[in-house]
Amino acid sequence: MVRIDELDLPELSLDAFASSGEGYHDQLAALSEHRFARIDPLGYVVLDRGAVDAVLRSRGARMPALQILELQGVTDGPVHRYLSGNLLNLDGDEHRHRRRLVSSALSPARAQALRPTMRAHVEQLFSTIADAGQGEFVSAVAKPYPARMIAEIVGAPLDDAERLGEWAYWIQGALDPIKLGTQLEEIHAAADGFDAYVKRLLAGPPDAASGLVGDLLPVVDAGELTRDQAASLIGAVLIGGVDTTQAQLAHTVRLLAQHPDQWARLVAEPDLVPQAVEEALRFEPITPFTARLVTDDLTHDEVTIPAGTLLVACIATANRDPVLVAEPHRFDITADRGGVASMTFGAGPHFCIGHALARAELEEALHVLVDRVGTLTLTGEPRHDTPSGVYGLLELPIRVTLR
């Protein structure tokens, strides 16, 4: 048995959290033969699939969102209050109890029932690009679409979807060390605005409430949750279901546009849509890094990680582990991946509760595109966000020819 701090480990530069595109994939690929890498002054990056899975499933490691926030000097204010009651900052019985309160709103059955609504939204949003034959996909479709769906689920007016999407983008920045260090004012403003908005929804007439707001109001009235706690739960659904799906959809369309043979195959065989979604989730996870703080000594494969160690689990390398996945750096929607599921939705206690909704939204968006589009190409370079938080695209200019 050996301690992790006694190992001779490669060094991973902080640049890996700031670069984007193939640059950071190349940097990580060079380290993929290792289980761990050192990243000073943070701690250690966990790289191989087995170690990532063990860390995420461990009951002796917790998400350190609030601790990282405080390490960067944010010890009070709207963002700190928001994360204090967020599902990401809860563990054990309290986490399980509050997670159950929102589970029905995000269940596979609910996602399945919403598929016609999803398709209707995408068809309407995509019509502008279809009519012009080209457009910027992120602002036209990828950004407003999941915001509309979360408005449906939360029970907010659809007219408010755009600002819900804006708030989601900025609040998600509280989990991104780079944005937190450079755009704290915008993040604070979004957390304040969203908190006030949700509390107004919760203060409305109970008989007019719908969606998740309607589900939580009886729990609040029964004294099981405070309005602050209910607002934090709705906030977790907002940031977990808007910015993430937006980013994954944009990358999925980018990958298909950059691989015209794959797009042609998908058009010819629409039944491949679910497999195309799974391959995009594997190949370009929009949460490449997720942190855990070890609270009890953790041992994996003869390596002991002492309590108090900060670990950054690298989903990007876990999804491309060559031990488990053949030709891991090749994007192929027809490849047999041997039943190895991607880790993009995480694992363990904090496995993404909205995974069924996200998959359904991605699939319905692709179905609309496959039904209408013959050729899909890029008209310029995609503009990437940083991978240190939610790794999305800021712009994706495309050209389409209709079928």
Please report the pLDDT score of residue 273 as a whole number.
Answer: 98
Q: Provide the token pair at 351.
A: 């496995």
CB atoms within 10 A of CB 377: 14
pLDDT band at 15 (very low <50, low <70, confident <90, very high): low
Question: Measured between alpha carbons, how far is 38 from 238 in angstroms, rounded to an integer?
Answer: 33
Give mean pLDDT, residues 88-111. Answer: 87
| pLDDT digit string, tens, across residues 40-62 | 777 899 999 999 999 999 988 99
Q: Which residues contact 330 (CB under 8 A, 6 or more apart)?
A: none
Q: Which domains does the chain have, with CATH numbers?
A: 2-402 (1.10.630.10)
Exposure string of 206-220, with b = 16+ CB inside 10 Å and e = fewer, is eeebebbbbbbbeeb
Identify which of 289, 281, 273 has the alpha carbon closest to the alpha carbon of residue 365. 273
Identify which of 10, 66, 76 has the alpha carbon closest to the alpha carbon of residue 39. 10
Question: Measured between alpha carbons, how far is 123 from 364 in angstroms, rounded to an integer?
Answer: 10
Please report the pLDDT score of residue 316 as a whole number.
Answer: 93
Q: Is the pLDDT of residue 238 over 70?
A: yes
Q: Which of 98-102, 244-248, 376-380 has the lowest mean pLDDT?
A: 98-102
Per cent of the chain over pLDDT 90 is: 52
Q: Which of 68-72, 161-165, 370-374 has the lowest mean pLDDT?
A: 68-72
Instruction: Report the DSSP beta bridge partners of residue 292.
Output: 311
Question: Measured between alpha carbons, how far is 141 from 118 in angstroms, rounded to an integer?
Answer: 12
Identify which of 58, 89, 86 has the alpha carbon closest to the alpha carbon of residue 349. 58
Contact 343, 335 (CB under 8 A): no
Question: Measured between alpha carbons, how far is 226 from 244 in angstroms, rounded to an integer?
Answer: 27
Contact 247, 383 (CB under 8 A): no
| pLDDT digit string, tens, across residues 283-309 | 999 999 999 999 999 998 899 999 999
pLDDT band at 108 (very low <50, low <70, confident <90, very high): very high
| pLDDT digit string, tens, across residues 307-321 | 999 999 999 999 999
| pLDDT digit string, tens, across residues 389-402 | 889 999 999 999 99
- In the block, residue with structure tokens 């695209």: 393
Exposure string of 327-358, with b = 16+ CB inside 10 Å and e = fewer, is ebeebbbeeebeebebbbbbbebbebbbbbbb
Average pLDDT over all residues of the chain: 90
Exposure string of 127-153, with b = 16+ CB inside 10 Å and e = fewer, is eebbeeeebbbbebbbbbbbbbbbbbb
Q: Which residues contact 85 (CB under 8 A, 6 or more apart)?
A: 228, 229, 231, 232, 233
Exposure string of 274-287, with b = 16+ CB inside 10 Å and e = fewer, is ebbbbbbbbbbbbb
Please report the pLDDT score of residue 16 as a whole number.
Answer: 64
